[in-house]
Amino acid sequence: MSTSHLDALEVQWLETYNQRNARSLEANKTAQQLIAKGQRTRFNSGMPYPIYVASGSGSRFTDLDGNTVLDCNAGWNASFIGRAHPAVTAAVHTAMSSIGAPGGAMHPSPIRDEFAQLLCARIPGAERIVFAPSGSEANTYALRLARAFTGNQIIIRVAGGFHGQHDALLGEQSSKTGLSPTAHDNIVTVPYNDLSAVRDVLQSRHGSVAAVIAEPMMTIPGAIHQRDGYIQGLRDETRKHGVLLILDEVITGCRFAVGGATEYYGLSAAPDLIVMGKMLGGGLPVAVVAGRADIVEQPISASNTHAQNPVALAAAVATMKATTPAVFADAAAKGEKLRQRLREIAERLGFSLAVTGDGPCAGVHFSSEEIVDYASAERADHRLWRLMCLGLANQGLGLTSRTFGPTAAWTDEDLNTAIGGFEVTLSAMAKAHQLDHERATA
């Protein structure tokens, strides 16, 4: 049987990738002998091994082979402000040389309290905060706070949502190996953008639900944005039933607006708890649970050696000061232009491509149906997605997860580079796809 044109294109692109990234390939071979696969290759694209970073600044980095790469994912939003930002770099240097690390509650630095003051002033509904070194721990604390405050046990989560490594919150896309068989006993899962499903659970489990936890935009399945005021609907329904709303903004937080998704979507009332991380530390590990004082003051166990690290918090303070409303507006405008151009390219090429996202975030799904939840995203053609990522890598675009788009460091030139990379890659795929179709119908 002859090879399809798409198969031949993949072979060609793999050969190009290996030629471009010979040193990364060698580095990965060494890493295979030292690092577990689950942490060695944390991406879901078509690249056979990761590209190693040698240096970076702003929106781009240089790999071991000297290739310049446009950062389209920014470490799941951890580097939204850009690599080696001068203000962040200076703040880290000052804190490390004058205070050192670690920090902690026993001997706190004033930088901790400055961070708390700035954050509570920015985020609607943030009356108190609890520190954590990562989003996983922060979401763990959020569940404890919700259950302690309400006295209830059930948590409603969204299918395909990602909330870190808490056993009870690991979703469909995560490995369940090693979990206790009872880990999900108090978890009820509902589809995203389906308010009636949430309403049904709240009614049928009345008096036993502690919280609903959701992302304002689903990120792991590919920038699936809310429809028909879904997040506001969650806020209304949880208030009606006396249930807490936990908005997980670990990946989206401080990416949409100064006040996060609450400000961006104009919610009538702030969520009870907001979990933030990633970009919050300007590339260093900082996460928090913010929310109502009476909830956050619940006496849960939340101790952690590195949760109040003064060096990381110095980076966080510098990041907050550098991310003004104009910065967010510019990134969102670039995101909208990127999504618009992707739709135009797909329409011109005759590709069934669903483009999703909001603010600076974009996602593409090779599907003819509207992508509104995890199930519809899973029905898309993942083989074409992986092939596209491989082609984009050869165009110098660093796209390693399904939610991508402009960061605060992107320039107009960067945006045009991204659009051009997608144009070249999708055009080649469309040509191969058409040739395969002509062969099949001949």
User: What per-residue confidence (pLDDT) applies to 35?
Assistant: 86
The yes-or-no verdict on residue 40 having pLDDT over 70 is no
DSSP structure class, residue 252: T
Length of the chain equals 442
For the segment 179-225, what is each residue's pLDDT rounded down to a tens digit? 778 877 899 999 999 999 999 999 999 999 999 999 999 999 999 99
Residue 431: band (very low, low, confident or very high) from pLDDT cuts 50, 70, 90: very high
For the segment 345-376, what is each residue's pLDDT rounded down to a tens digit? 999 999 899 999 999 999 999 999 999 999 99
239: nearest Cα among 212, 276, 262: 212
**75 versus 8: which is more confidently predicted?**
8
Average pLDDT over residues 75-87: 89
Residue 1: band (very low, low, confident or very high) from pLDDT cuts 50, 70, 90: very low
User: What per-residue confidence (pLDDT) applies to 44?
Assistant: 58
The yes-or-no verdict on residue 278 having pLDDT over 80 is yes
> Is residue 304 within 8 Å of 137, Cβ to Cβ?
yes
User: What per-residue confidence (pLDDT) applies to 108?
Assistant: 84
User: What per-residue confidence (pLDDT) applies to 304?
Assistant: 83
The yes-or-no verdict on residue 301 having pLDDT over 90 is no
Domains of the chain: 5-71+325-441 (3.90.1150.10), 86-322 (3.40.640.10)
In DSSP terms, 249 is beta-bridged to 276
The yes-or-no verdict on residue 287 having pLDDT over 80 is yes
The sheet that has 397-398: what strands, in order across it?
53-57, 60-63, 68-71, 397-398
User: What per-residue confidence (pLDDT) applies to 42?
Assistant: 59
Alpha helices (H) in 46-131, listed in sequence order: 74-77, 86-98, 110-122
Predicted model pTM = 0.94
Crossing angle between the packed helical segments 230-240 and 195-204, to the nearest 10 degrees = 10
Q: Return the SS3 of 376.
A: helix
* % of the chain beyond a pLDDT of 70: 98
For the segment 304-336, what is each residue's pLDDT rounded down to a tens digit? 888 889 999 999 999 999 999 999 999 999 999
DSSP structure class, residue 47: -
Residue 239: band (very low, low, confident or very high) from pLDDT cuts 50, 70, 90: very high
In DSSP terms, 244 is beta-bridged to 211
